Structure 1
Amino acid sequence: MERGDLTKGWLRGPGFMPLAPDVYVAAHVPVDQVTMTRVAMLRHPEGTIAGTTAALFHGAIDAVVDVGRGGAPTEVLVPASGVRSPAGLRVRCADLPEDEVVEWPDGPDGAVLRLTSPARTMVEVARALPTVEAVVVGDALARRCGVTAADVVALADRHTGERGMARVRAAAALVHPGSDTPRRTRVRLGVLRARLPPPLVDVVVTRVEGGADVGALDLAWPERSCGVLVDRHPDLAWACAEELLAHGWEVASIGGQGEQPVDEVVEDLATFLARVDRRRWRDLPDMRGRFPRRPSAPKVFD
């Protein structure tokens, strides 16, 4: 504008759209979270993108959409207080240590975005969302970025006394990088909440002799020699299970290719495990007449 290429009149005309004070975009440009992230950096260059917005940049796109945050306001943490949040942005006050911030290249012109680190992103997500939704995003971050529960708990310990750290620890305890889709995360959490035996996740079964792979299962109970495939096409499920069945494993394909509600999937899985236990006499009491105790349910915040 100093050179006269644009005037205030042009910016206020139909060819441009205001996104924030003194920030405009061409009217034909779609306004998504990436655009609003750039707006946030223009308005708050000292700020840091956080929450589910940062999770999008870290690769957890499917998980963020699954928990209904794909169109949520862009979250920004700024060191100063009393900053107003324009439409499309959610600005909060937080003074972040440098090891909780990463820089993200934004285009060939050398511009960068400041994002919370994957572990700090998980902390912010778990503080804001119910535990199940937070774990859906956390599983994706663990799978994409290698963040571990220990990393998240360490940050929670660093910020002990701040709001929501109990929620953060509860979500971190349930994160597992092996759940490769949001729905499989939800099924795994449904199994734990139903107090069924905790499964191993993303298990590859190998032969005792030679070590060759026999098959892969989404959830498995090796002590029962059984497992399940979740949301697989029938032909693909049979291809995965055929050799496992031949080696004495019990295998079930559940989920109806993503069409069956998660609660019904868990009910079918409970029925499958009960049938396996009856066949293998796992429901008999031990020598002292006691039945095995059911696992405790995880702590979950709504």
Structure 2
Amino acid sequence: MHPDVYVGSAVDVDAYVRVRALRVWSRGDGIVAGPLAAAAWDAECPWEDSELIVPEHARAPAPDVRPRVGELPLDEVALLFDAWVTTPVRTAFDLARRPPLVDAVAAVDALAFVCRLSVDDLRVLVDRHTGARGIVQVRRVLELMDPLAESCMETRTRLALVLRGVPAPVSQFEVVLPSGKRARLDLAWPHAKVAVEYDGPEHRTITGQNRDAFRNEGLDELGWDVVHVTSAMVLDPRAADRLAARIGRKVGRG
């Protein structure tokens, strides 16, 4: 795992194992932070590196560890997996400082959704660490974050539209179908009855396709215009331009 830190070859190297390995390597002096801390809190993250906050006297860093010298207030760390890990809100604050902006918002949204964080929770740390590196981006992340986003790709889909001038949608908007069942729409503009659904792998299974077909039939009866998008339509800049123009025409520009 790290110099002088080993694990059995049959062990599933998950967040628990990675955190414990860093604890052993740092001899208990380090605080797990960044993407690995997010994974420890069971949140999705665009990055996968191991970040460790260490005191000045800590041993030389391993080549696969991203060290950061410093100390944190006691209320910004927690004991998890018998190791010191940044709290969810401190983890979100640290990830909000990382470029690029869209990935930072996606990381913060994921933590906010899993750990029930609010904009005000992060604002406390912004006010506490006004001179921190990347604080300007953190403030922008606060403007763009949405704790209701259920995946990083939902965040990327929303930002692909909003950053191109489309009015901010309502996330996870609930609609009662004619059948009496309830449907939650990833992104919705209720005034225009327009919705955008991000179709991940689960939507491409037979079960997912059938579920979507029945739901779309009910939404169509209610007058909803549902636009299904894929990763290629969001991640390719020219495709995202076309998508934003299309949705903008349907819902009106902000």
Residue of structure 2 equivalent to 1:98: 74
Cα offset, 1:189, TM superposition: 0.5
| TM-score scaled by length of structure 1 | 0.71
Residue of structure 2 equivalent to 1:285: none
Cα offset, 1:129, TM superposition: 3.0
Letter in 2 for 1:94: G
Q: Secondary structure at the match of 2:144?
A: coil
Residue correspondences, number: 242
Q: 1:246 to 1:32 in 2, by over 3 A?
A: closer
Cα offset, 1:120, TM superposition: 0.4
Q: 1:178 to 1:38 in 2, by over 3 A?
A: same
Residue of structure 2 equivalent to 1:220: 188
RMSD: 2.7
Letter in 2 for 1:41: R
Cα offset, 1:29, TM superposition: 6.1
Counterpart check, 1:137 vs 2:104: no
Letter in 2 for 1:200: V
Residue of structure 2 equivalent to 1:87: 63
Q: 1:25 to 1:191 in 2, by over 3 A?
A: same
Residue of structure 2 equivalent to 1:230: 198
Superposition pairs of residues 44-55 of structure 1, within 5 angstroms: 44-55=27-38
Cα offset, 1:162, TM superposition: 1.9
Residue of structure 2 equivalent to 1:124: 94
2: CA distance, partners of 1:128 / 1:214: 37
Percent of residue pairs bearing the same amino acid type:
29
Cα offset, 1:159, TM superposition: 0.7
Cα offset, 1:177, TM superposition: 2.4
Residue of structure 2 equivalent to 1:5: none
- Maintained 8 Å contact 1:216/1:240: no
- Maintained 8 Å contact 1:254/1:269: no
Counterpart check, 1:41 vs 2:14: no
Superposition pairs of residues 63-74 of structure 1, within 5 angstroms: 63-64=44-45, 67=46, 69-70=47-48, 72=49, 74=50
2: CA distance, partners of 1:226 / 1:214: 17
2: CA distance, partners of 1:56 / 1:182: 13
Residue of structure 2 equivalent to 1:271: 246
2: CA distance, partners of 1:199 / 1:80: 46
Gaps of 5+ in 1: 1-17, 106-111, 283-293, 296-302
- Maintained 8 Å contact 2:160/2:234: no
Gaps of 5+ in 2: none
Residue of structure 1 equivalent to 2:219: 244
Letter in 1 for 2:154: R
| TM-score scaled by length of structure 2 | 0.83
Q: Of the two, which has the highest radius of gyration?
A: 1
Cα offset, 1:228, TM superposition: 2.2
Cα offset, 1:254, TM superposition: 2.7
